[in-house]
């Protein structure tokens, strides 16, 4: 706010009997005849403005009493100690300016107790976000992203930005969005996979990117959207996949602990606490995970995707053992993309998922850096390596061993806060049916 305008939370006893100016949304107007109370809300809280009919000019009293809900008003007045007001003070106005009147009726209420359909909320997201508990998620998400940045920069990673308009996908054709690129076929990037790997051949040997990823997800689930923020990293000169797990584990733990410490005010608004996961995160192989869920009666066979239900069942088993976050490693190579390294002599691969309370939040692995073996993997997957020449070239002229991950930022936030749907962590979510606002 401009220096002349005060936030609700900045006003205290030192301001008693002094004049201040506030600006915010008119949350409520209670006209009791001889006195009108106006509740004004800003980013951090509310202020009670008391307007006694006998003590303020008649025009001001009339204007304050007829304010429409959710209008923006700038109010100057004297701070008075008050035992009735929640904050311990109220403001008696000397002047008021309606900087932006709100029409009525409102498309939805901000403080009403009636529950509003999610579709209505997302249709009028600007209004929905006026609720402190809805907004708190984004304050927390911002703090989480700061933690990720901090951790990686401390660990020698360089932040990079790769193209979002691309000529080929890396994660399978089914979820590609087509676009017309000056008459040529192009796609919105599903992930920075190919580019971050190409960077491993340059000497920028530890990179990360936090940016949008696009997936044409055809189904409606609580964890898929068409546009999400992907936190990708790639690191070279590794000795095994464990080097990658160590960095990601350190980063996730640092982020969760940082949020628990620094976002207390916002967590309180949300009415939740963050549970600190137990470390080290246990490592279970895909085969062990399969056995665990089979023992629960799930009909999954070797090679099957664990799926939503399998992941959930595993989450329950792990949480009973005291673990919220855990690794699932060595998936069948058949289930993994061309860029993943095979575990020779077995049907498995150097791949991993990181799961948080029964839901995948990240996938990664050691990559195939050997040119010939990479070409073989393209062929095995029925892909034409020539179509990926811009990528394979980087492997033909000196590519160190490397690995990395892609983590869905919104999935991390969703699980950290125990939110029922990923959409709650996205300001303007995009899904199969939603393209506006
Ligand atoms: P899932 O099996 O849950 O659909 P995935 O294995 O297809 O995910 P990856 O390609 O491994 O996803 O992407 C890396 C990470 O990006 C995932 O672990 C997840 O956190 C996030 N992610 C992937 N797709 C989506 C999506 N549609 N919406 C939100 N986050 C996503
Ligand atoms: Mg995955």
The pLDDT of residue 12 is: 96
Report which bound ligand comes closest to the CA of 425: 1
Mean pLDDT (whole number) for 84-88 = 92
Give, in order, the Cα–Cα distances in Å from 126 to each of 225, 242, 283.
20, 44, 42
The pLDDT of residue 47 is: 98
Rounded to 10 degrees, what is the CA torsion of 32, 36, 37, 38?
Answer: 130
What is the 36 CA–ligand 1 centroid distance (Å)? 52
Q: Whose CA is nearest to atom 25 of ligand 1?
A: 224
- Alpha-carbon gap, residue 192 to 407, rounded angstroms: 12
Burial class (CB in 10 A: 0-12, 13-18, 19+), 50: buried
Mean pLDDT (whole number) for 109-123 = 90
- Tell me the pairing of strands 35-41 and 19-31: antiparallel
- Alpha-carbon gap, residue 161 to 42, rounded angstroms: 35
The pLDDT of residue 112 is: 78
Instruction: Please name the residues in contact with 265: beta carbons below 8 A apart, sequence gap of 6 or more.
Output: none
Report which bound ligand comes closest to the CA of 224: 1
- Asked if pLDDT for residue 168 goes beyond 90, the answer is no
- Asked if pLDDT for residue 287 goes beyond 80, the answer is yes
- Tell me the pairing of strands 177-181 and 402-408: unpaired
Burial class (CB in 10 A: 0-12, 13-18, 19+), 18: exposed
Tokens of 422: 């990923």
- Tell me the pairing of strands 351-356 and 359-366: antiparallel
Residues with CB under 6 A from ligand 1: 171, 215, 217, 224-225, 228, 230, 360-363, 406-408, 410-411, 422
Backbone angles phi, psi at 385, to 5 degrees: -60, -25
What is the 323 CA–ligand 2 centroid distance (Å)? 20
Encode pLDDT of 367-409 as tens digits. 999 999 999 999 999 999 998 999 999 999 999 999 999 999 9
What is the 125 CA–ligand 1 centroid distance (Å)? 25
126-425: CATH superfamily: Bira Bifunctional Protein; Domain 2 (3.30.930.10)
Mean pLDDT (whole number) for 159-167 = 97
Taking the CA of residue 305 as reference, the ligand 1 atom at the shortest distance is 2
Q: Name the nearest CA neighbour of 255 among 335, 329, 325.
A: 325
The pLDDT of residue 39 is: 98
Over the chain, what is the mean pLDDT?
96
Mean pLDDT (whole number) for 193-213 = 98
Backbone angles phi, psi at 420, to 5 degrees: -70, -25
The class of domain 8-100 in CATH terms is mainly beta
Share of the chain above pLDDT 90, in %: 95
pLDDT band at 115 (very low <50, low <70, confident <90, very high): confident
Q: Is 403 helix (H, G, I), strand (E, B) or coil?
A: strand
| Cβ proximity of 296 and 313 under 8 Å | yes
Candidate of 286, 312, 360 to mutate for ligand 1, largest count of ligand atoms within 8 Å of Cβ: 360
Mean pLDDT (whole number) for 287-306 = 94
Q: Whose CA is nearest to atom 28 of ligand 1?
A: 224
pLDDT band at 3 (very low <50, low <70, confident <90, very high): low
Mean pLDDT (whole number) for 82-101 = 96
- Alpha-carbon gap, residue 65 to 125, rounded angstroms: 28
Query: Taking the CB of residue 340, how many other CB atoms lie within 10 A of it?
Result: 22
Encode pLDDT of 316-367 as tens digits. 999 999 999 999 999 999 999 999 999 999 999 999 999 999 999 999 999 9
| Ranges in the chain annotated CATH 3.30.930.10 | 126-425
Q: Name the nearest CA neighbour of 325 among 361, 297, 274, 370.
A: 361
- Asked if pLDDT for residue 169 goes beyond 90, the answer is no
The pLDDT of residue 170 is: 82
| Ranges in the chain annotated CATH 2.40.50.140 | 8-100
Encode pLDDT of 407-419 as tens digits. 999 999 999 999 9
The pLDDT of residue 174 is: 86
pLDDT band at 1 (very low <50, low <70, confident <90, very high): low
- Asked if pLDDT for residue 33 goes beyond 70, the answer is yes
| Cβ proximity of 234 and 247 under 8 Å | no
Q: Whose CA is nearest to atom 14 of ligand 1?
A: 406
pLDDT band at 79 (very low <50, low <70, confident <90, very high): very high
Encode pLDDT of 210-247 as tens digits. 999 999 998 899 999 999 999 999 999 999 999 999 99
């Amino acid at each position: 706010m401009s220096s002349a305008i005060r936030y609700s939370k900045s006003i205290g006893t030192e301001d008693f009997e002094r004049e201040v100016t506030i600006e915010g949304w008119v949350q409520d107007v209670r006209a009791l005849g001889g006195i009108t109370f106006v509740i004004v809300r800003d980013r951090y809280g509310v202020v009670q403005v008391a307007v006694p009919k006998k003590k303020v000019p008649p025009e001001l009293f009339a204007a304050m009493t007829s304010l429409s809900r959710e209008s923006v008003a700038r109010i100057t007045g004297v701070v008075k100690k008050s035992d009735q007001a929640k904050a311990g003070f109220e403001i008696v106005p000397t002047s008021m300016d309606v900087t932006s009147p709100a029409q009525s009726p409102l498309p939805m209420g901000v403080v009403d107790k009636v529950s509003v359909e999610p579709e209505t909320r997302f249709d009028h997201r600007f209004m929905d976000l006026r609720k402190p508990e809805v907004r708190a998620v984004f304050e927390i998400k911002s703090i989480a992203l700061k933690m990720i940045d901090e951790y990686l920069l401390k660990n020698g990673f360089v932040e990079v930005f790769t193209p979002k308009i691309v000529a080929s996908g890396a994660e399978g054709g089914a979820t590609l969005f087509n676009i017309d690129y000056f008459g040529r076929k192009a796609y919105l990037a599903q992930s920075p996979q190919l580019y971050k790997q190409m960077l491993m051949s340059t000497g920028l040997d530890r990179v990360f990117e936090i940016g949008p990823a696009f997936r044409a997800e055809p189904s409606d689930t609580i964890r898929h959207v068409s546009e999400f923020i992907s936190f990708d990293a790639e690191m070279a000169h590794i000795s095994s996949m464990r080097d990658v797990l160590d960095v990601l584990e350190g980063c996730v733990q640092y982020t969760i602990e940082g949020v628990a410490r620094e976002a207390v005010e916002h967590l309180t608004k949300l009415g939740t606490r963050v549970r600190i996961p137990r470390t080290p995160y246990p490592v279970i192989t895909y085969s062990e995970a399969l056995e665990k869920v089979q023992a629960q009666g799930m009909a999954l066979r070797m090679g099957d995707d664990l799926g939503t239900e399998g992941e959930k069942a595993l989450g329950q088993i792990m949480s009973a053992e005291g673990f919220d976050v855990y690794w699932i490693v060595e998936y069948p190579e058949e289930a993994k993309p061309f860029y993943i390294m095979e575990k020779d002599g077995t049907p498995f691969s150097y791949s991993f998922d990181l799961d948080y309370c029964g839901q995948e939040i990240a996938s990664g692995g050691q990559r195939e850096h050997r040119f010939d073996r990479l070409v073989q993997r393209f062929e095995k997957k029925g892909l034409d390596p020539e179509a990926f020449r811009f990528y394979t070239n980087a492997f033909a002229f000196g590519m160190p061993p490397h690995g990395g991950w892609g983590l869905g930022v919104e999935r991390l936030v969703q699980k950290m806060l125990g939110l029922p749907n990923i959409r709650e962590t996205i300001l303007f979510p995009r899904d199969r049916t939603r393209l506006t606002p």
